[in-house]
Amino acid sequence: MKKTVALVSGCMLLGGLALLAQQMQTGRTLAATMNVFVFPQQGQSASHQSMDEAECYNWAVNNTGSDPFALQRQAQQQQQQADWAQQNAATAGQGTGLQGAARGAAGGALFGAIAGNAGRGAAIGAGTGAVVGRARGNAQQNQANQIAGQTAAGQQATAQQLQNFKTAFTTCLEAKGYLARF
């Protein structure tokens, strides 16, 4: 048990040190990269604030189960999926009635020729093909709309996870004597 706690604590410390190194390279605080505004109320130095932010980051990740940087990547992927789904929904089913009519007319003409009236067979085939084509087009449109709705629900869930993380992060910072808002 003690080894597990020591291992977890060591990993958290290493994660915090990596975040501190990133802050030093970019010149922005960890909180600033997440659009969280932090003001020291007890005269904490910038280096002390960076350490507190790293500790609170690790605490918030462990307590919410969410990493905001992973959530941001996930949100970007979901946005790409949403854009694709919207484009697909806009074009799904377009021309399927006409395609169905053309296929139906060809098939109807063939069967009509066998029966002795190719023109009548083509007309019947075209009408039937248009109806079937429109039905397929509507099914494609519905499926594309369903995918777009699922993507939107995923985006809302990701936004809620990010909100929960930021709430935990700012709560930790406030407990350490900072004014924190997002």
Read off the pLDDT of residues 101-146 as tens digits, 9 standing for 90 and up. 667 666 666 666 676 776 776 677 667 766 776 777 777 777 777 7
pLDDT computed for residue 143 by the predictor:
77
- Residue 8: band (very low, low, confident or very high) from pLDDT cuts 50, 70, 90: very low
Q: Dihedrals φ, ψ of 35, to 5°?
A: 60, 40
Rounded (10°) CA dihedral 35, 16, 2, 60: 0
Q: Is 55 exposed, middle or buried (0-12, 13-18, 19+ CB in 10 A)?
A: middle
Read off the pLDDT of residues 9-41 as tens digits, 9 standing for 90 and up. 444 445 544 544 554 455 689 999 999 999 999
Higher pLDDT, 2 or 156: 156
Among residues 64, 169, 172, the alpha carbon closest in space to that of 182 is found at 169
Cα 111 to Cα 144: distance, rounded to the nearest angstrom? 35
What's the predicted TM-score (pTM) here? 0.59
Q: Is 4 exposed, middle or buried (0-12, 13-18, 19+ CB in 10 A)?
A: exposed
Read off the pLDDT of residues 56-97 as tens digits, 9 standing for 90 and up. 999 999 999 999 999 989 888 888 887 887 776 666 656 665
